[in-house]
């Protein structure tokens, strides 16, 4: 049977008719259809925070799906899991009284936050504040605004005009934010969106003081700070939503992935009391936005069960506790000349960058490294010039050793053919 499944972000002319089928999973391991075992060094796409095979989540999903699988939440309709999860998330958010807007995933969360930033300013009589500033290397999903906010040039190429009112700044320079605001005019800027650790764009941790500095700049210029915590939330960098690590209080926080550890799709936005107020206090001021499955009860039930596990097992803190160990395990890549940089050290996130000389000679080098590691029983994620690591928060040090030696052996195999 020829596959009809078109894979996201994938070169289907190369994937060809024989997709690599994963059949089952448990904790940090996965098995293919021939029974070969692999270590999941990327928590799938950065989201499997509690590890695979949690029957507690599966049972919560089953129980909810039998009772009320789904119903609309438009108007005054609601359901118990959405109420419970929103309450849990609000209680754990950096600002008491925050409101939670649920959507289907991270991309929708970014659209929601960007539209809400603009809508907030129009609601308070500043409709000309429309620009959203973002960083080079950033990734904010594949929807309209999110694509326009991409700091990865390949992700906007070939799609024609993007949303005009966006502005890119260099990755690490907080002063560049201030300069962009001055250039555009603070009266024209609605928000600044920032991943605490840039993920898909290459795994770039923030420079010390960066997050604190941009938070202050946003405040000074009356610009909403939007922290995109889609990867960094739910323990990935050692705190619940991620901004807490830097002691900052964003106006909006986008989340997805780790909220359910991916057991079912779910995303959302934490809306600070300041931004929520015009809508929650003035009848007739409506945020005319929201997808069909906002507050999907079965997805929210998965979220509630997942957060209970994260907290009961101390997994939120583990993202920070193990960050040094992950980075140390990636240091096995250091001796190889085809490696130009090893990044990480903030949360369970890391990357090994291949040198431009090697990639010039071997444009498929990143994929070759992924294949070498796969043949040694470890899954890693390919980025444009690096491979990424973001294991489940349940990872143990012996698993990190497995990653470390598979990495060294794989690089050795590639270097011998370089
Ligand atoms: N923001 C960030 C920081 C992400 O990493 C991602 C997904 N990798 C998204 C947004 C988009 O999320 P989704 O793929 O669930 O739409």
Query: Measured from the CA of 228, which atom of ligand 1 is nearest?
Result: 3
C-alpha 213/C-alpha 248 separation (Å) is 10
Helix (H, G, I), strand (E, B) or coil at 109: helix
Q: Which residue of 104, 110, 259 sits with most ligand 1 atoms within 8 Å of its CB, as the best mutation to test the pocket?
A: 110
How many CB atoms are located within 10 Å of the residue 384 CB? 15
What residues flank ligand 1, with Cβ below 6 Å? Answer: 45, 105-107, 110, 139-141, 195, 199-200, 228, 230-231, 256, 267
Which residue's CA is the nearest one to ligand 1's atom 15?
Answer: 106
H or E element at residue 172: none
Task: Pick the atom of ligand 1 nearest to 108's CA.
Answer: 16
DSSP result, 115-150: HHHHHHHHHTT-TT--EEEEETT----SSHHHHHT-
- Distance (Å) from CA 196 to ligand 1 centroid: 13
Instruction: Give the Å distances, CA to CA, from 355 to 130, 158, 329, 331, 408.
Output: 39, 27, 19, 15, 16
Q: Quick check: 259 and 69 in contact, CB under 8 A?
A: no
How much is the ipTM here? 0.99
Number of the ligand 1 atom closest to the C-alpha atom of 198: 3
- Nearest C-alpha to atom 1 of ligand 1 is from which residue? 140
Nearest-atom index, ligand 1, CA of 200: 5
pTM of the model: 0.98
Long-range contacts (CB closer than 8 Å, 24 or more residues apart) made by 174-182: 174/209, 174/210, 174/213, 174/214, 174/217, 177/133, 177/214, 177/217, 177/218, 178/217, 178/221, 180/133, 181/133, 181/217, 181/221, 181/223
CA of 415 to the centre of ligand 1 (A): 33
Distance CA 192, CA 252 (A): 10
Q: Which CATH architecture has domain 55-313?
A: 3-Layer(aba) Sandwich (3.40)
Topology of the domain comprising 12-53+315-416: 3.90.1150
User: From the alpha carbon of 257, which atom of ligand 1 is closest?
Assistant: 15
pLDDT at res. 97:
96
Pocket of ligand 1, candidates 108, 112, 193, 256: which has the most ligand atoms within 8 Å of its Cβ, to mutate? 256
Could you tell which of 140, 262, 349 is best to mutate to test the pocket of ligand 1, judged by most ligand atoms within 8 Å of the CB? 140
The Å distance, Cα 231 to ligand 1 centre, comes to 7
The pLDDT tens digits along the chain (418 residues) read 678 999 999 999 989 888 999 999 999 999 999 999 999 999 999 999 999 999 999 999 999 999 999 999 999 999 999 999 999 999 999 999 999 999 999 999 999 999 999 999 999 999 999 999 999 999 999 999 999 999 999 999 999 999 999 999 999 999 999 999 999 999 999 999 999 999 999 999 999 999 999 999 999 999 999 999 999 999 999 999 999 999 999 999 999 999 999 999 999 999 999 999 999 999 999 999 999 999 999 999 999 999 999 999 999 999 999 999 999 999 999 999 999 999 999 999 999 999 999 999 999 999 999 999 999 999 999 999 999 999 999 999 999 999 999 999 999 999 999 8
User: Helix, strand, or coil here: 105?
Assistant: coil
Range(s) of the chain covered by CATH 3.40.640.10: 55-313
* Cβ neighbours of residue 284 closer than 8 Å, sequence gap 6 or more: none
Report which ligand 1 atom has the smallest distance to the Cα of 105: 15
- How close is the Cα of 112 to the center of ligand 1, in Å? 13
Bridge partners of 339, per DSSP, are: 354
Q: Which of 224, 225, 242, 220 is nearest to 233 (CA)?
A: 242
What is the predicted pLDDT for the residue at 418?
84
Ranges of CATH 3.90.1150.10 domains, the chain = 12-53+315-416
Q: What is the DSSP letter of 243?
A: G
Query: Residue-wise over 138-150: b if at least 16 C-beta within 10 A, else e?
Result: bbbbebbbbbbbb
Neighbours of 367 (CB within 10 A): 14
Residue spans of alpha helices (H) in 163-272: 174-184, 210-220
For residue 106, which atom of ligand 1 is closest to its CA?
Answer: 12
- Which helix H or strand E contains 162, and what residues bound it? none
Whether residue 214 contacts residue 225, with contact meaning beta carbons closer than 8 Å, is answered with: yes
Q: How far is the CA of 140 from the centre of ligand 1 (A)?
A: 6
Residue nearest atom 13 in ligand 1 by C-alpha distance: 106
């Amino acid at each position: 049977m020829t596959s009809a499944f078109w894979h996201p972000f994938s070169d289907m002319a190369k994937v060809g008719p024989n997709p690599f089928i994963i059949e089952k999973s448990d904790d940090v391991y996965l098995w293919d259809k021939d029974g070969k075992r692999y270590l999941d060094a990327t928590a799938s796409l950065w989201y499997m925070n509690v590890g695979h095979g949690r029957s507690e989540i599966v049972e919560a999903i089953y129980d909810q799906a039998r009772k009320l699988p789904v119903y609309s939440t438009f108007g005054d309709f609601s359901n118990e899991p959405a109420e419970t999860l929103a309450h849990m998330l609000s209680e754990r958010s950096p600002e008491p009284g925050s409101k939670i807007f649920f959507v289907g995933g991270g991309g929708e969360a970014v659209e929601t936050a960007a539209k809400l930033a603009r809508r907030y300013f129009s609601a308070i009589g500043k409709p000309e504040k429309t620009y959203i500033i973002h960083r080079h290397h950033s990734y904010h999903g594949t929807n309209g605004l999110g694509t326009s906010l991409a700091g990865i040039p390949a992700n906007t190429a070939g799609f024609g005009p993007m949303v005009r009112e966006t502005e890119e700044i260099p990755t690490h320079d907080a002063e560049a934010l201030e300069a962009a605001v001055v250039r555009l005019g603070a009266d024209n800027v609605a928000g600044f969106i920032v991943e605490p650790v840039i993920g898909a764009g290459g795994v770039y941790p923030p420079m010390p003081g960066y997050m604190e500095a941009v938070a202050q700049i946003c405040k000074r210029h009356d610009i909403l700070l939007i922290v995109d915590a889609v990867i960094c939330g739910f323990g990935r960098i050692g705190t619940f939503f991620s901004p807490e690590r830097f002691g900052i209080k964003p106006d909006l926080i986008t989340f997805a992935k780790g909220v359910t550890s991916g057991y079912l799709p779910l995303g959302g936005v934490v809306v600070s009391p300041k931004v929520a107020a015009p809508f929650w206090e003035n009848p007739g001021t409506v945020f005319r936005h929201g997808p069909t499955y906002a507050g999907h009860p079965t997805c929210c039930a998965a979220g509630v069960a997942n957060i209970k596990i994260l907290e009961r097992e101390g997994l939120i803190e583990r993202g920070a506790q193990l960050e040094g160990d992950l980075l140390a395990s990636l240091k096995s890549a250091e001796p190889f000349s085809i490696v130009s940089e090893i990044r990480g050290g903030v949360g369970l996130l890391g990357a090994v960058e291949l040198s431009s000389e090697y990639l010039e000679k071997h444009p498929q080098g990143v994929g070759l490294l992924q294949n070498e590691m796969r043949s040694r029983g470890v899954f890693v994620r390919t980025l444009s010039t690096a491979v990424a690591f973001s294991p489940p928060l349940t990872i143990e040090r012996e698993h990190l050793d497995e990653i470390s030696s598979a990495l060294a052996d794989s690089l050795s195999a590639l270097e011998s053919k370089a």
